[in-house]
Amino acid sequence: MSESQTAAFFRAEGVLVKNGVMHAALFMAGQRAGMRERALRFGQALASVPVFGLLGQNDRTLGNRVAHLCYRDMTEDRINVLSEEYVDDVLDEKLLDSGIELLRKAKADGHRVVVISEGISEIMERLRERWRYVDDLVCNRLEYRAGKATGKLQEPVIGGFEGGRWLQQYAREHTIDLQNSFAYAAHGPDLLLLSAVGHPCAVNADFTLRKAAREAEWPVMDYKA
């Protein structure tokens, strides 16, 4: 039997970067060719706002599905170009240095560093290149057919309670000692992720997670940069 190892799991949204999936979807929708197409896709992205408002502190899976409808019929090449622009021109100023320092420290302490994100792979893989300390990235992936996005996400959709279920399988596959592992997250749906490890930490937490963290006597960390 291979020797167990420890890991540090980081939810990107709220811990490592300020902007979430909604901001990226609105950016992409605003880059569509033609006023009619732009208005249609922008409207689809906006339609996910009330969904996140109602379910955002619980299961965000539905909100993620609706938000990514705006990618429908965009070519893979176009999405890659826009993703690079979004990271360089927008996200670069939205990274949270305090969170990046947590990444660095976790790696220095010998943990396997895993980032979990609602963002699409085209965006998150570019961020991963900048972070350097990340061993594994788990994020949403767009479904493509004939070189064009269908507007659907591949399963499993990251953003809801699926993240906590995924963790158990990941731990088995990589012989992770969860009791001695760490997790950092900001949203209510991440309760399963945090409760699965021995050292959870709520970071910039929303109401649901902050309340649960206090009841469970988990550490709570707040930072803006």
| % of the chain with per-residue pLDDT over 70 | 84
User: Which tops the pLDDT comparison, 55 or 110?
Assistant: 110
Structural domain includes residue 101: yes
Structural domain includes residue 211: yes
d(CA 50, CA 35): 24
| % of the chain with per-residue pLDDT over 90 | 62
Based on the structure, what is the number of domains in the chain? 1
DSSP state of 76: H
Structural domain includes residue 133: yes
Taking the model in full, what pTM does it have?
0.88
pLDDT, tens digit, for every residue of 118-137? 999 999 999 999 998 999 99
Q: What is the mean pLDDT of residues 142-152?
A: 96
Which CATH number is 73's domain given?
A: 3.40.50.1000
Residue 22 confidence (pLDDT): 80
Which pLDDT band, with edges at 50, 70 and 90, does 26 fall under? Answer: confident
Residue 127, both tokens: 């961020």
Sequence-ordered list of residues with C-beta below 8 angstroms from that of 6, at least 6 positions apart, any chain: 110, 111, 112, 176, 177, 180, 181, 182
Question: What mean pLDDT, rounded, does the chain reach?
Answer: 87
Helices (H), the chain: 12-15, 21-29, 35-55, 61-67, 76-89, 97-108, 121-131, 162-173, 191-195, 207-216
Q: What is the mean pLDDT of residues 15-43?
A: 72
Angle between helices 21-29 and 35-55 (to 10 degrees): 170
Q: What is the mean pLDDT of residues 153-167?
A: 77
Do 33 and 45 touch, CB atoms closer than 8 A?
Answer: no
| Structural domain containing residue 187 | 7-221
Which pLDDT band, with edges at 50, 70 and 90, does 29 fall under? Answer: confident
pLDDT, tens digit, for every residue of 85-108? 999 999 999 999 999 999 999 999
d(CA 163, CA 72): 25
Structural domain includes residue 1: no
Which pLDDT band, with edges at 50, 70 and 90, does 23 fall under? Answer: confident
Structural domain includes residue 30: yes
Structural domain includes residue 150: yes
Structural domain includes residue 2: no
Residue 157 confidence (pLDDT): 86
Do 188 and 57 touch, CB atoms closer than 8 A?
Answer: yes
Q: What is the mean pLDDT of residues 58-82?
A: 84
